[in-house]
Amino acid sequence: MRAKLIVGNWKMNGSRAANAALLDGIAAGLDGAKASIAVCVPAPYLQQCEDALKGGPIAWGAQDVSAYSGGAYTGEVCAKMLSDFACRYVIVGHSERRAYHGESSELVAKKAQAALGEGLTPIVCVGETLEQREAGRTVDVVGAQLGAVLELLPAEAVGKIVVAYEPVWAIGTGRTATPEMAQEVHAQLRAQLRARAGSAADGVAILYGGSMKPENAHELLAQPDIDGGLIGGAALKAQDFLAIIHAT
């Protein structure tokens, strides 16, 4: 059985003081937790995470990475810099970056490749909009998003990624995919991974994201192909994040 992975996506939230309180609050409630846990934080707070979390059970990571390895790319942060702060994870292709920063699936694939090149685990996000779902295009859309990554990576690297299925219409809206809806897409993604990487696909964690909260986490996480969660809003409150961790 795959171990569950619960990742907090802080998005553009936090301050040194708020982060310290949040991390202390999470650490205080971890007794008996079975899941692997990580927080993906704004880049300026990576040092704070490294200082606070080093040697403990919570891993940390970033929310984006450059496709380039360094040099004259003002404002970018490369994978080597993330590994300099001992990041384990980096989110790539979050729908907010696809929508507000025009990131294509091809660029997302290059970012995943750059992350893997530095020993980081990319959390590759895919998901359809409400319009695409209503048009019956969910499978095509998420299939193409994941497909771009699978095309660029060598088959042996596929087992090293994490995938996050995040229906765009469920992110930050309070609307959640039903466990059955999510499981259907997760099974599809698993089949696509298997077609590319064979049995290594069985080890890939496929997370669900989109208004996961204490009230719905247990049912979602009980689905056979839902291996954890990528949590936005509920990751900013220690009690809620802990409740999701303990729901695994």
Cα–Cα–Cα angle for 16, 21, 24, nearest 5°? 120
Distance from chain centroid for Cα 164: 5
**Cβ atoms 88, 58 nearer than 8 A:** no
Interacting residues with ligand PGA between 205 and 234 (CB under 6 A): 209-212, 230-234
Structure tokens at 17: 């003081």
What is the C-alpha radius of gyration for the chain, rounded to an integer number of angstroms?
Answer: 17
Q: Between 63 and 66, whose beta carbon lies closer to ligand PGA?
A: 63
What is the SS3 assignment for 224?
coil
Residue with smaller CB distance to ligand PGA, 66 or 211: 211
Q: How far is the CB of 154 from ligand PGA (least distance, A)?
A: 27
Closer residue to ligand PGA (CB): 19 or 211: 211
Mark 2-41 with x for binding to ligand PGA (rule: CB under 6 A) and - for no binding: -------x--------------------------------
Helix (H) or strand (E) holding 246: helix 238-246
Q: What are the tokens at 70?
A: 């360094």
Tell me the window of 82-90, 116-124, 148-156, 165-173 that interacts with ligand PGA (CB under 6 A): 165-173
- Minimum CB distance to ligand PGA, residue 210 (Å): 5
Nearer to ligand PGA, 13 or 83 (CB): 13
Kindly tell me which of 230 and 247 has the beta carbon lying closer to ligand PGA. 230
- The count of chain residues that interact with ligand PGA, using the rule CB under 6 A, is 13
Q: For ligand PGA, which is the closer residue by CB, 10 or 85?
A: 10
Q: How far is the CB of 127 from ligand PGA (least distance, A)?
A: 9
| Long-range Cβ contact pairs of 40-47 (< 8 A, separation 24 or more) | 40/7, 40/8, 40/9, 40/10, 40/89, 40/90, 40/91, 40/123, 41/10, 41/14, 42/10, 42/12, 42/13, 42/14, 43/77, 45/14, 45/16, 45/19, 46/82, 46/85, 46/87, 47/85
Q: In this chain, which stretch among 16-24, 29-37, 116-124, 166-174 interacts with ligand PGA, using CB under 6 A?
A: 166-174
Please report how close the Cβ of residue 156 comes to ligand PGA at its closest, in angstroms: 28
- Measured from the CB of residue 233, what is the shortest distance to ligand PGA in angstroms? 4
Q: For 127-209, where are the E strands, in sequence order?
A: 162-165, 206-209
Catalytically active residues are 94, 166
Least separation in angstroms between residue 198's CB and ligand PGA is 29
Does residue 204 touch ligand PGA according to CB under 6 A? no
Per DSSP (E only), the strands in the chain are 5-9, 36-40, 58-62, 89-92, 121-126, 162-165, 206-209, 228-231
Given the rule CB under 6 A, which residues bind ligand PGA? Answer: 9, 166, 171-172, 209-212, 230-234
